[in-house]
Amino acid sequence: MKKIAIIDDNKAVRSSIKNIIEHNFKNSFEFVEANSVLSGHKLITETNPDIVLLDIEMGDGTGLDLVHLFSEIHFKLVFITAHKDYAIKAIKHRPEDYLLKPVNPFDLIKVINTLQNELNTSTSPISNNINKIVIKNQDTSILLDVNSIIRCEADGAYTKIITSETEYMASKNLKHFTDLLEDKNFLRVHNAHLVNANCIKMLNRHTQTGITMENGDKVPVSSRKIKVISKFLEALS
């Protein structure tokens, strides 16, 4: 199991970040935490995390000070801060990403998903297929990149797979794809709809067409699911 270190002097922020990641990447990561530069340095040295989510301004110094304590960086580094002024200095350390507080949950999910795939690619002997699924119909089997899938829609005993480029009709029901994709940041927002959370553009709580996807598709969301998604979006507010 990969390990994520969350280093921030605000306990509520650490908890929110952890909750968002745990909710969307079930049983994928172990978490360790620290609340200062010195404790963060000790934590990284002793636990050897794969990913470090690092606040910049803390009580005993900055995240940049912490990074300077290492002659080499052997982890994926993501700066998370409310201070835009540090952006240029932070970029000099070549982080994987730089997120501003309050962190947009979908931005955080995208970053973690990307880093997870990179870590799997570097360690897995079957890494080329780690983020692909097979779509079968009566005549063909297609190896499809999960990241290209925008959403899935039930069509009786079949499932329509909508990607950024085209559509496929798979000879499996929606439950099959829900089980297959639930640990890859897909959300079952309706009995007939499964969506890629990375591709959600807008959530409207007051209409039956609750979600607009990046490709412009309108997806209905059950009232119960709207509440769940709303809480998810507000987790860091």
Q: Give the strand order in the sheet containing 158-163.
A: 167-170, 158-163, 149-155, 193-196, 186-190
Q: Are residues 119 and 180 in the same domain?
A: no
Tell which of 123, 156, 191 closes a domain: 123
H/E run at residue 69: none
Q: Are residues 68 and 145 in the same domain?
A: no
Choose among 176, 183, 179, 177: nearest CA to 163. 177
Q: State residue 237's pLDDT score.
A: 44
Average pLDDT of the residues in 213-230 = 83
Indicate the Cα dihedral angle 81, 55, 22, 163, nearest 10°.
50
Q: Domain with 193 in it: what CATH number?
A: 2.40.50.1020
Q: What is the mean pLDDT of the chain?
A: 83
Query: Which one is predicted more confidently, 53 or 204?
Result: 53
Q: Is 100 helix (H, G, I), strand (E, B) or coil?
A: strand
Structural domain that includes position 200: 131-233
Tell which of 123, 149, 180 closes a domain: 123
- pLDDT at residue 128 is higher than 50: no
Whole-model pTM over 0.75: no
230 forms beta bridges with none
Gap between the Cα atoms of 178 and 199, Å rounded: 16
Q: Are residues 108 and 221 in the same domain?
A: no
Tell me the range of 64-78, 100-114, 129-143, 221-235 where mean pLDDT is highest.
100-114
Q: Are residues 212 and 115 in the same domain?
A: no
User: pLDDT category, 35, cuts 50, 70, 90?
Assistant: very high
Alpha-helical (H) ranges within 124-222 are 174-181
Q: State residue 123's pLDDT score.
A: 47
Q: What total number of domains does the chain contain?
A: 2
Q: Are residues 110 and 139 in the same domain?
A: no
User: Which range among 53-62, 88-97, 112-121, 140-149 shows the weakest confidence by mean pLDDT?
Assistant: 88-97
Q: Are residues 196 and 215 in the same domain?
A: yes
